[in-house]
């Protein structure tokens, strides 16, 4: 079920009413209800995927209990957690990466003159598999590292892994944050619910008006870049930069807002990343839940930045390449990760990676010239990365990029860009004004009539200005 569908528009109010009015008296029942509706939500795509998520959840739940049972026997606990990690990653590997490895091995053997008929699997990629697998893994690792007590409450654990707002595209929650929220009785909080609704509204605007309108042009330009003018290729790259942000951060906003309606707090996943002054700041603000996951479970265990230079470089490359590969079984994602590691390394090695922690132009309406230049430069570097990310192959990414400079600059087609440009201007303006808040519509300090005007303007924009509806980009990851 998509957040931007009529089905969800019916599903959400019904689930909300049942949750607060029918099953609200019993915590266990309320959690069980969450599991049921989450499985319904997920099974809407394909009910066969449910067995997979149930299997992943069960294995992780069991591993937690077994780790507890073998308390004091560290090597057994290690074997259990490694087994669970291997099992979960195997499921992910088969469904997401099998064909990639198979085909690439085939090509490798061909290079040495062995023509082998490699097996490829004709399987569907289960929606959001990378997200819930990582969420389940974090539980096992945290339990093993004694950061979290294992749960014996299967219903809560199943609810934690399958919680429908963030099930298919995050934020990737940590068990330490989300799981305890299932143990305590939730009370309806008016302010939280209103804030959740606002965040949903803004998320829908970002997805349906910004991202979907940009997608129309982007698909056209990336689909036939060989025929496009340099100017249009440049426009296409910028539009994809906003499309992916509107799409993914829009999803996160809807997810966080929806969770708030049910009394849950999810972590912030995007913190206005396009207002970053360098790449390090960008990575602290972009897909925060994934970045911190890799930091905590891969980068720090490898020694992080508290080791020798050579190892720091190695660790940085590893984390970015793995992060790229997490996005999909294609060399373009790996190259995208590699590109960002090259941008990030100089900052890390010169210890400038933590230079900008605060919001940009704090206390000022506009940035200084220096800040503006820094934001612009970072934005350009990120945009180049998105060309690699969006292209079908590394070769086509290169052709697209060089096409910007080698093709004739015109003609432009301003007609087809109008809606996207207007939507982007609104997005940048609103988010700039709200850059010190959790989300753009948090704490709107306006008279009620102006506030409601904003709500209606956004609703009407969604209804009348949305682009052709597309699925969320990050579902495929």
Partner 1 sequence: MKFFLKRCAIIAIVPVLLVIVPFIIIETSGETLSLEDMIQRQQQDTSIVIGCALSYIDPFLKAEKSRQINPDILVLGTSRTMQFRHYFFNSAFTFYNAGGGIAHIHEFLNFLVETQVKPQVLIISLDQYFFNSVWVTANAVNFDYNYNSSLTTMLLSNMRSIYGKLKDGRIRLTQLRKSSNIGLLAKNDGDGFRYDGSYFYNKVINNPSLSNDFQFQNTYLQIKKGIDRFVYGDSVCQNSVKMLDRFLAYCYNHSIEVIAYFPPYAPAVWEKMIATGNYSYMTQIDKAVRPLFEKYNYTLYDFSDGESFGSNDAEFIDGFHGSEKTYLRMMLEMVRKDSFIGSYFEDTLTLKKMIAVYPDIRANK
- Active site amino acids: 327
| Closest to partner 1 by CB, 8 or 283 | 8
Q: Are 280 and 352 in contact (CB under 8 A)?
A: yes
Q: How far is CA 152 from CA 25, 57, 113, 181, 271, in A?
A: 21, 13, 55, 15, 35
What number of CA atoms fall less than 13 Å from residue 325's CA on the CB side? 13
| Closest to partner 1 by CB, 5 or 120 | 5
Contacts of the segment 385-388: beta carbons below 8 A, 24+ positions apart: 385/336, 385/339, 385/340, 385/343, 386/237, 386/240, 386/241, 386/244, 387/237, 387/240, 388/332, 388/335, 388/336, 388/339
| Closest to partner 1 by CB, 273 or 328 | 328
Distance CA 376, CA 393 (A): 27
Distance CA 362, CA 372 (A): 13
Distance CA 209, CA 464 (A): 9
Residue 172 φ/ψ, nearest 5 degrees: -75, 105
| Closest to partner 1 by CB, 13 or 301 | 13
- Give the distance from CA 471 to its chain's centroid: 14
Task: Name the minimum Å distance from CB 109 to partner 1.
Answer: 27
| Closest to partner 1 by CB, 228 or 276 | 228
Task: Name the minimum Å distance from CB 183 to partner 1.
Answer: 23
Element (H, E) at 424: helix 414-433
3 state SS of 448: helix
Task: Name the minimum Å distance from CB 459 to partner 1.
Answer: 5
Kindly provide the residue ranges of all beta strands, DSSP E only, lying in 122-266, ordered along the sequence: none
Task: Name the minimum Å distance from CB 287 to partner 1.
Answer: 27
Task: Name the minimum Å distance from CB 451 to partner 1.
Answer: 11
Distance CA 466, CA 83 (A): 46
Q: Are 136 and 161 in contact (CB under 8 A)?
A: yes
Element (H, E) at 333: helix 331-349
Selection from 379, 382, 389 nearest residue 327 by Cα: 389
| Closest to partner 1 by CB, 114 or 464 | 464
Tokens, residue 38: 């989450």
Residues 6+ apart with CB under 8 A from 432: 272, 275
| Closest to partner 1 by CB, 194 or 380 | 194
| Closest to partner 1 by CB, 192 or 340 | 192
Task: Name the minimum Å distance from CB 188 to partner 1.
Answer: 5
- In the complex, the residues that contact partner 1 under the rule CB under 8 A are 2, 4-7, 13, 20, 188, 190, 193-194, 197, 208, 219-220, 222-224, 226-229, 411, 413, 452, 455-456, 459, 462-464, 466-469
Tell me how many degrees the CA angle 357-359-360 measures, rounded to the nearest 5: 110
């Amino acid at each position: 079920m998509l957040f931007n569908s009529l089905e969800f528009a019916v599903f959400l109010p019904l689930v909300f009413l049942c949750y607060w009015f029918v099953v609200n008296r019993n915590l266990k029942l309320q959690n069980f209800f969450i599991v049921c509706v989450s499985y319904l939500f997920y099974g809407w795509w394909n009910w066969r995927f449910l067995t997979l998520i149930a299997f992943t959840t069960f294995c992780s739940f069991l591993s937690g209990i077994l780790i507890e049972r073998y308390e004091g026997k560290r090597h057994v606990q290690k074997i259990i957690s490694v087994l669970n990690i291997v099992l979960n990653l195997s499921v992910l590997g088969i469904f997401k990466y099998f064909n990639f490895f198979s085909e690439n091995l085939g090509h490798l053997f061909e290079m040495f003159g062995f023509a082998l008929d490699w097996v490829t699997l004709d399987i569907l990629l289960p929606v959001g598999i990378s997200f819930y697998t990582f969420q389940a893994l974090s539980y096992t690792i945290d339990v093993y590292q004694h950061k979290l007590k294992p749960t014996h409450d299967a219903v809560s654990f199943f609810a934690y892994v399958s919680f429908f707002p963030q099930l298919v595209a995050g934020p990737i929650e940590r068990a330490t944050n989300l799981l305890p929220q299932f143990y305590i009785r939730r009370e309806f909080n008016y302010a939280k619910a209103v804030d959740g609704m606002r965040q949903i509204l803004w998320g829908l605007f970002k997805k349906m008006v910004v991202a979907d309108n940009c997608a129309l042009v982007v698909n056209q330009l990336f689909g036939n870049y060989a025929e496009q003018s340099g100017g249009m290729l440049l426009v296409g790259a910028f539009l994809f930069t906003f499309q992916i942000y509107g799409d993914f951060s829009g999803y996160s906003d809807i997810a966080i807002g929806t969770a708030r309606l049910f009394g849950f707090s999810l972590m912030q996943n995007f913190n206005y990343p396009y207002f970053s002054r360098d790449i390090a700041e960008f990575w602290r603000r972009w897909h925060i839940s994934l970045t911190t996951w890799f930091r905590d479970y891969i980068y720090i265990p490898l020694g992080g930045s508290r080791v020798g230079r050579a190892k720091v470089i190695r660790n940085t490359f590893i984390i970015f390449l793995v992060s790229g590969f997490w996005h999909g079984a294609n060399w373009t994602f790996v190259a995208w990760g590699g590109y960002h590691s090259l941008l990030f390394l100089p900052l890390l090695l010169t210890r400038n990676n933590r230079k900008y922690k605060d919001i940009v132009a704090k206390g000022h309406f506009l940035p200084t010239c220096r800040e503006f230049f820094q934001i612009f430069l970072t934005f350009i570097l990120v945009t180049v990365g998105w060309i690699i990310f969006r292209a079908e192959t590394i070769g086509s990414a290169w052709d697209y990029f060089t096409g910007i400079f080698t093709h004739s600059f015109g003609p432009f087609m301003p007609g087809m860009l109008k809606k996207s440009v207007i939507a982007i201007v609104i997005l940048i303006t609103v988010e700039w004004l709200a850059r010190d808040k959790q989300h753009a519509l948090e704490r709107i300090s306006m008279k009620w009539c102006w506030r409601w005007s904003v709500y209606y303007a956004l609703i009407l924009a969604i209804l009348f200005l949305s682009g052709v509806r597309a699925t969320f980009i990050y579902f495929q990851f």
